[in-house]
Amino acid sequence: MDKFRIAKDTLGEVKVPEEVYYGAQTQRAIHNFPISGLRLPFSFIKAQAIIKASAAAANKECGTLDSKKAESIIQAADEIISGKWNDQFVVDVYQAGAGTSQNMNVNEVIASRAAELLGGQKGDYTLVHPNDDVNMSQSTNDTIPTAIHISIASQLNETLYPAINLLLETLETKEKEFHNVVKAGRTHLQDAVPIRLGSEFRGFRGAVMSVEKSLKDAENSLFELGLGGNAVGTGINAHENYAAAAIKEIADRTGLPFKQSDNTYAFMQNTNAAIRISGHLKELAVHLIKISSDLRLMSSGPRTGLAELTLPAVQPGSSIMPGKINPVILENLYMICSQVIGNDSCVTTAAIGSQLEINPMMPVIGYNVLQSITIISNGMNVFTEKCLKGISANSEKIKEWLDQSLSLVTALNPHIGYEKAAALAKESFESGKTLKALLVEKEIFTSDEAERILDPHSMI
């Protein structure tokens, strides 16, 4: 039989499982929000714990928090940062209240663990109180957006940028590998003038590089923190030196250049930085979908498609057709990017929910941006390692399509004019004869002249 203890909050008594570190307010949230089973990720919990440790250190420095309490809070928070108490953070993502339940979940866990460190029992708030001590100088309204900024900035640097850099390095390698492979270009999915296969990969690389730059520009807005604004931005109940000391501690702990926002009211009323990052993640997703779609098209076949590229075979493609190999890694990347685009729509809609002094929808904003970073980073890594690195060019098929391309006729424009060239292309299509054969047959050019003018390498 499960054992319980009686926890109390301002609404009364609540039965809480005896072994847990959280208390009454977290337990109420469990009952009130049985929605999805989804939780904010560890990166967000870690950011919250960094805030709590930094706040305790700042309050101690300002002389507003007892030294022993501060040290116990810092130690408990550091244990959370190390991943020790992950199972104690149990509030559903869809919790409402601007994340008050999320904030109190962390406050209660730290208070109980700090009490143990001081020789007491979990849930003994006479030693360390979740509101008066752990949450000192803070509010949900300034700590949750601060946690959003810290967790997103950390994940960009720890997860997303390394994945982008690996992708860019591999694209550049393929660009060089395929530099001398000349193929038929295609616009509107119709024949177009020749292009280097390497140039197509250069186009892929340029698109990703552009988004990386936009992300790093937008990242600067994440480094501005409104911690210390407290309930509505005024800094009520916080020592005048608290915010500067706490944010310096956060910067030291993360190694990232966090600084005080010069407008705590704007920081708390809006979620500008998260909106910007989410928008650029969506843009990255759009470009990755384009890349994955192009590679699927160019590798289609192997007998009835373009078959210009060969992808690494990673698993059987059909439960009924023996020997079939599908572009599963590219399909996986497309699905991931579809989710990222959907997440951005959620972030946008939730951001519209800002009213007056705060945005009550912050938990779902943080969750969706962090999920997008996680899945698109993992997706890029899988794509790079299991697909992109192993792509090879089918030179024989590429030459076959190039020789048949009617758009080689474009090179004739300076010699015979657009209209005559168009008529020649039409006759080539209808007769099945090559452009070169028609040029020689009609005595427009000699064989050598036609060969030189229609040389694809001269068109790139």
Spatial separation of the C-alpha atoms in residues 133 and 349, rounded to whole Å: 35
**Bridge partners, 259 (sequence order):** 224
Chain mean pLDDT for the chain? 95
Tell whether the model's pLDDT for residue 310 goes beyond 50.
yes
Spatial separation of the C-alpha atoms in residues 56 and 69, rounded to whole Å: 8
List of domains in the chain: 4-136 (1.10.275.10), 142-396 (1.20.200.10), 405-459 (1.10.40.30)
Tell whether the model's pLDDT for residue 30 goes beyond 80.
yes
Comparing 296-305, 335-344, 430-439, which segment has the lowest mean pLDDT?
430-439
- pLDDT value, residue 1: 47
pLDDT in tens, 245-278: 999 999 999 999 999 999 999 999 999 999 999 9
- pLDDT value, residue 324: 86
- Is the preceding omega at residue 130 within 30 degrees of 0, hence cis? no
**Helix H or strand E encompassing 296:** helix 272-298
Spatial separation of the C-alpha atoms in residues 183 and 17, rounded to whole Å: 67
The answer to whether the CB of 77 falls within 8 A of the CB of 249 is no
- pLDDT value, residue 407: 84
DSSP for 326-375? --HHHHHHHHHHHHHHHHHHHHHHHHTT-BTTB-TTHHHHHHHHHHHHHH
| Neighbour count for residue 38 (Cβ, 10 Å) | 12
Residue 318 designated active-site: yes
Please state, for a pLDDT cut of 90, what percent of the chain lies above it: 86
Comparing 41-50, 164-173, 315-324, 354-363, which segment has the lowest mean pLDDT?
315-324
The answer to whether the CB of 168 falls within 8 A of the CB of 388 is no
- pLDDT value, residue 456: 85
- pLDDT value, residue 221: 97
Six token digits for residue 101:
């339940």
DSSP structural state of residue 145: H
SS (H, E, C) 212-266: HHHHHHHHHHHCEECCCCCCCCCCCCCCCCHHHHHHHHHHHHHCCCCEECCCHHH
Mean pLDDT score, 421-430: 88
- pLDDT value, residue 225: 97
DSSP structural state of residue 128: S
- pLDDT value, residue 408: 84
- pLDDT value, residue 425: 86
Query: pLDDT band at 56, cuts 50/70/90?
Result: very high
- What is the SS3 assignment for 194? strand
In the block, tokens 């730290």 appear at 110
- pLDDT value, residue 435: 86
Single out the catalytic residue among 36, 82, 293, 318. Answer: 318
- pLDDT value, residue 308: 97
- pLDDT value, residue 318: 80
pLDDT in tens, 107-163: 999 999 999 999 999 999 999 999 999 999 999 999 999 999 999 999 999 999 999
pLDDT in tens, 177-229: 999 999 999 999 999 999 999 999 999 999 999 999 999 999 999 999 999 99
